[in-house]
Structures are given as structure tokens and as C-alpha cells.
Structure 1
Amino acid sequence: MRARWVTAGLLALLGAVHAHIWWGRASVANVEALRRELLRQEQANEAARQRNERLTAEVHDLREGLQTVEEIARESLGMVKPNEIFVQIQGGAP
């Protein structure tokens, strides 16, 4: 009789552990969702890190030299140097 109670208790414990694995807070589905979220966040962090590196390099260039300032002025504002002629070539079908 005692062996039946031990067996029933162990089966109940096994069922509780199994239920926790499949439907609990640390379930397989929940862990997979957290992994996907972590992957998305790591990708966003990497993109932000690369952007920060580009901005840091640009700030360094702006502080150290006028070449970057000149390049930005030429591209964004269409500025030209004195005694310089600006020529724009538009591509088209031959």
C-alpha cells in the first residue's frame, strides 16, 4: 500500500515539474520568445554602436581639420571656393 502512495506522489511531482516546463514562467515557449527578443536587441545595439562610431569619427574630423567641414559645405550647401567653377554632369541614356 505504501509503494502505491510513493508511486502516486512521484507521478504527481513529475506532472508538476512537467507542467512547469511547458506552461510555467520558464516554459520552453517563453524562453524562446526571450531569446528572439534578445537577438533583436543585440542587433539594435550593434546598429547603434556602429552609428555612434561614425558620429564619433565625424566629430573628431570636425574638431581636427577643415577638410570635413569643407566637404559638408560643398555637398549640403553647394558652396564653391573663390575662382572655382562648379560643373554638374547629369547622367542619362547615351
Structure 2
Amino acid sequence: MRWVMYTLIVITIALQGQLWLADDGYRKTRNLSLAVAEQRQQNEALRERNAALDAEVLNLKNGRAAAEERARTDLGMIGKNETFFQVVPAKDITRH
């Protein structure tokens, strides 16, 4: 009966060793859990970015003012009844 007890102890130690030390044991499970949590954070950030882009697309589709503003800021376009003034910094005349 004593050898059965020793056998069970050895098997238990071997299984615990596999659980804690093997490549597909506890460490891998913990690392995968951390990776899933990180991916969820990235997904949430991307969802927020996509929502902002969707709102911008809808605004550009439905409103002329948004399209004009975008053309002015990104493309440097000027409206028909507008005058463009370019301000050039003066040269420093104190330098020789």
C-alpha cells in the first residue's frame, strides 16, 4: 500500500511540474491572457478612432461647410469671393 502512495505522490509532482514549467502550461496561459487584454485595449482605441472617422465622413457627405474647411486647411484652396494674403517675414537688417 505504501508503494501506491509514493506512486501517487510522484505522479502528482510530475503533473504539477508540467503545469507550472511546461511551455504550454501556466506561463503560456498567463501570457495569452495578458495579450488578450492588450489587444482589447488596442481594439477599443481603434473603435474610438473609427467612430471619429465615421462622424467626419458623415459630416463631409452632408455639410458643405465641412468640405470647404477641409479644402482650405488640407489643400490650401481659396473660395471664389475670397482674397489670399501671404505674409512674408521681413529680413533682419541688423545682421551684416
TM over 0.5: yes
2:81 alignment counterpart? 83
RMSD over equivalenced CA pairs, Å: 2.4
Spell out, residue by residue over 1:36-92, the C-alpha distance to the aligned partner (whole angstroms, 9 max, x if none): 2112211221222112101110111122111111111101121122232234668xx
Give the aligned residue type for 2:8: L
Structure 2: unaligned runs, 5 residues or longer: 89-96
TM-score, normalised with respect to structure 1: 0.74
Aligned-partner Cα distance in 1 for 2:18–2:55: 50
Q: Describe the shift of the 1:54–1:22 C-alpha distance in structure 2 as closer, same or farther (beyond 3 A).
A: same
Determine the structure 2 residue equivalent to 1:13: 11
Q: How far apart, in 1, do the equivalents of 2:87 and 2:64 lie?
A: 26
* Amino acid aligned to 1:55: L
- Partner of 2:50 in structure 1? 52
SS of corresponding position for 2:79? coil
Give the share of equivalent positions with the same residue, in percent.
Answer: 36
Equivalent of residue 64 in structure 1, options 62, 65, 88? 62
Equivalents in 2 of 1:86, 1:78: separation in Å?
10
C-alpha separation in 2, matches of 1:84 and 1:72: 16
Deviation at 1:29, TM superposition (A): 1.5
TM-score, normalised via structure 2 length: 0.73
Residue from 34, 37, 62 that aligns with 2:35: 37
